[in-house]
Amino acid sequence: MIALKKYLSLVKFSHTIFAMPFALVGFFLGIKALSKIPHIKVFEPWKLSVTQKTKLFFQGNLWIFLLVILCMVFARSAAMAFNRWLDKNFDAKNPRTSIREIPAGIIKSNSALWFVIICSLLFVICCYFINNICFFLSPVALFVVLFYSYTKRFTALCHLVLGVGLSLAPIGAYLAVTGQFALLPVLFSFTVLFWVSGFDIIYALQDEEFDKTNKLHSIPAALGKSKALLVSNVLHLLSAISILIAGLYGHFGLWYWVGVIFFCGLLIYQHLLVKPNDLSKVNVAFFTTNGIASLVFAFFVILDIFLT
């Protein structure tokens, strides 16, 4: 149990809250899409009572649902552990990160690497049991989420690469259910891409000077705090636009737009918390605000899917 806690801390398991809700959105969009295809027998939850919907969902879709959750957990755990393993020397030199598990000696470097390998294999195995397209694309998804860890060494666009990695969540979950691509989950993926890239820039403000000293690349290191926050503003504006386009294209109902108001409101709020000369609330803006934004939005989207 103690070892498990160490590894959960290593991968910041609580941060799964960012992309997981959007994976659930993609999953339920897939369920609804299948109900509109002739000759495919899936339940139509919008025609049933809430009790009937819940019962039928867990009878017919629990296996895929669990596999999607496991894929999210394993892929993200592999990516985060790999990032910690690859950056261990930089983390040891940075006062803010020197207490992390590998530089602090809580977890051995080789053990962390084995953890990455095991999580990666488990991710591929879960994809195999979902469907062929998820299985064949699993190495591509792994490459994207693992490659991010190298990008800070050569490009300030590393934040966008992280965004791309997490943006695979709604597309992947949709593919798990339907086995085919569609525009609507892609629009949600753009929402995630711009949203994550924007708040990762805010988080990176803390390491501006360290990155410059150690020749690491980031938007704050390249542009300074004020301009970096402006870039973050633009990215979050693009995220809000993407979420609006998704709502119009998907013909969502009232509950969806309630979720949009909450999500966009929290995007604005986090920018009110962080100033170029005051980074004391970066962690609140990064984790608390974005975690709530993701959960609340996904709740209202799924509610809209079930009730309309």
Write out pLDDT tens, residues 75-121: 999 999 999 999 999 999 999 999 988 998 899 999 999 999 999 99
Q: Sorting pLDDT into bands at 50, 70 and 90, what band is 57?
A: low
List, in order of start, the domains of the chain with CATH numbers.
Answer: 2-307 (1.10.357.140)
Q: How many helices (H) and strands (E) are present in the chain, helices listed first? A: 15, 0
Report the distance separating Cα 251 and Cα 261, nearest Å.
16
Q: Inform me whether the pLDDT recorded for 48 exceeds 60.
A: no
Q: What is the pLDDT of residues 186-232, one digit of tens each?
A: 999 999 999 999 999 999 999 999 999 999 999 999 999 999 999 99
Specify the 3-state DSSP secondary structure of 216: coil
What DSSP state is assigned to residue 202? Answer: H
Token duo for residue 55: 């019962």
> What's the start-to-end Cα distance of the chain, in Å?
43
What DSSP state is assigned to residue 152? Answer: T
Report the distance separating Cα 150 and Cα 167, nearest Å.
18
Token duo for residue 208: 């501006």
pLDDT attached to residue 125? 96
Q: Inform me whether the pLDDT recorded for 28 exceeds 60.
A: yes
Select the more confidently predicted residue: 283 or 167.
167
Quick one: what percent of the chain has pLDDT higher than 90?
72
Query: 257: which residues sit within 8 A by CB, 6+ positions away?
Result: 247
Q: Sorting pLDDT into bands at 50, 70 and 90, what band is 18?
A: confident
Q: Inform me whether the pLDDT recorded for 54 exceeds 60.
A: no
